[in-house]
Structure 1
Amino acid sequence: MQTTPKSIFITGASSGIGAALSVAYASPGVHLALVGRDDRRLSDAAARCQARGADASALVLNVADQAAMASAITAVDHKYPLDLVIANAGIAKSQEDSAFARQLVSTNILGVLNTVEPAVDAMLSRRHGHIAIMSSLAAFRAFGGPPGYTASKAWARLYGEALRGRLASKGIAVSVICPGFVLTPMTSAAGKDGMSAEDAAEAVKSGIERNLARISFPRGMAGSTWLSNMLPSWWTDRKIKRKWQMSRRH
């Protein structure tokens, strides 16, 4: 049975979807542990949550630091037993080089492990809790996007879906979040239209409340991505080639 979470741990909470989720969950009686690397922005996010009546703490951490993450999660859980942990932190850029590809592994893959593993350990003793892992619609079909980013999000999706099956009988729910294009500081340079971080946060919150295995949005983009993933590779490869030919002309 799903209950309203009162103790929530969110990574990547200083901006974008993470900050919007923090505010969406903020209310009297809720404790929020917000993790990010930018002290100023993280403090601003915590202040917005406190203005809504929540007890919010800002934890300046790098999710790639395994020991620091384990220590932080254990400390928060000891004081406020965790109901919900959202592994949201991630990095991306359109032009990847070898060095950035390795940063992607540290943040988007190892950062998820460093968040999820100690959280699961804490929740197992109570047989209660919910883990949400941020993936992407790009995890289904990359369409020529940044290879390191899309591969890291595919890993996050499959890891979360496998974990859901493994933990279901132990009282722990797992949801994988697969957004399409959302307007955040990380994506602003792309110059595309997309849904707001606030709308994305409401979609995530609703999906978690319903214990959905996969929370995908916007609906139209999610549907077209699913369809494209079902089509034969020769057809989608042709579309990808045409897309990149057109982009080079502009």
Structure 2
Amino acid sequence: MPSPSPCADPAAILITGASSGLGAALAVEYATAGITLFLCGRDEARLAAVAATCRARGAEVLATSLDVTGAEAVAAWVAACDRHRPLDLVIANAGISAGTAGGTEGAEQTRAIFAVNLDGTVNTVMPAIAAMRPRGRGQIALMSSMASFRGVGGAPAYCGSKAAVRVWGEALRGALAADGIAVSVICPGFVATPMTAINDFAMPFLMTADSAARLIRRKLAANRGRIAFPGPMAALSWLAAALPDSIADRLTRHLPAKR
């Protein structure tokens, strides 16, 4: 029989952006007796509600209101969590979009999106690596998007930030393998969350956040490097990435893309 994956049973899990959407669904999915959850989010009331749900399921929960764009504050928080209980799994999930389905992202929106989606991910991942490397084990998951495979005209900053997260995470997987740290990149299609609720267009293969969280947990336990779902949406995204510009330009012009 094959040996079990070292990622199969994380006991101490840190999740950013846990106050709503996929972050909240992942927290609830992992919540059970014996599990310690370190959760952060910017909305204190919603984060408290998620924490209460997870505690009711038997988990120990330490919830912190935190802006992931503050590098020093995030590093201090990650280190404090690791001292409380050595981290097994860190999910850098926090992310935003501009919601500009019919317009163009302005300079302020663009900088804000990159600050949260990319800088916030870096701010979370680097101290996690520092904590895990000395003990030679751990797992890091970076939340990218199906929108990372081909930029679309409705959300250039969102697509660009998620593309950077995806490629960085894929490279980290190889870079950290010798240190015993597993790295996975998560590329969801459309998931029913507050981020997608503002969309006024048809979202193909839309999944519930709970279903997405169950799938992500299963794939992380198997140490999958890239977790792209649902399958049909992933196939379409990979095809779009391979299209020549003459075709892709017509298909992606003014189309929004959000996780």
TM range (shorter): over 0.9
2:57 paired with 1:52: yes
What is the rounded CA distance, in whole Å, between the counterparts of 1:32 and 1:239 in structure 2? 42
Residue in 2 that maps onto 1:120:
129
Aligned residue runs from structure 1 range 127-138, under 5 A: 127-138=136-147
TM-score, normalization: structure 2?
A: 0.91
Aligned residue runs from structure 1 range 72-91, under 5 A: 72-91=77-96
Identical aligned residues as a percent: 49
What is the rounded CA distance, in whole Å, between the counterparts of 1:195 and 1:225 in structure 2? 16
Aligned residue runs from structure 1 range 1-250, under 5 A: 1-2=5-6, 3-95=8-100, 96-191=105-200, 192-193=202-203, 194-241=206-253
What is the rounded CA distance, in whole Å, between the counterparts of 2:122 and 2:142 in structure 1? 10
Instruction: Quote how far apart the aligned CAs of 1:94 are.
Output: 2.7
The runs of at least 4 aligned residues of structure 1 exceeding 3 Å deviation read none
Between structures 1 and 2, the one with greater helix share: 1
What is the rounded CA distance, in whole Å, between the counterparts of 2:85 and 2:174 in structure 1? 26
User: What secondary structure sits across from 1:204 in the alignment?
Assistant: helix
Deviations 1:88-121 (A, max 9, x none): 0001023222111111121111100110000000
One-letter amino acid matched to 2:236: S
RMSD: 1.4
What is the rounded CA distance, in whole Å, between the counterparts of 2:216 and 2:98 in structure 1? 23
User: What secondary structure sits across from 1:190 in the alignment?
Assistant: coil
| Residue range with higher mean Cα deviation, 200-209 or 232-241 | 232-241
Deviations 1:132-185 (A, max 9, x none): 000001100123231111000000001100100000111000000000111101
User: What secondary structure sits across from 2:122 in the alignment?
Assistant: helix
For structure 1, the 5+ residue unaligned runs are none
Contact preservation (8 Å) 2:98, 2:113: no
Q: How many residues align?
A: 244
One-letter amino acid matched to 1:139: S
What is the rounded CA distance, in whole Å, between the counterparts of 1:80 and 1:111 in structure 2? 22
One-letter amino acid matched to 2:18: A
What is the rounded CA distance, in whole Å, between the counterparts of 1:59 and 1:238 in structure 2? 44
Contact preservation (8 Å) 2:152, 2:159: no
| Residue range with higher mean Cα deviation, 88-97 or 43-52 | 88-97
TM-score, normalization: structure 1?
A: 0.94
- The answer to which structure, 1 or 2, has the higher relative contact order (CA under 8 A, 6+ apart) is 2
One-letter amino acid matched to 2:181: I
What is the rounded CA distance, in whole Å, between the counterparts of 1:61 and 1:178 in structure 2? 24
What is the rounded CA distance, in whole Å, between the counterparts of 1:109 and 1:239 in structure 2? 26
Contact preservation (8 Å) 2:14, 2:90: yes
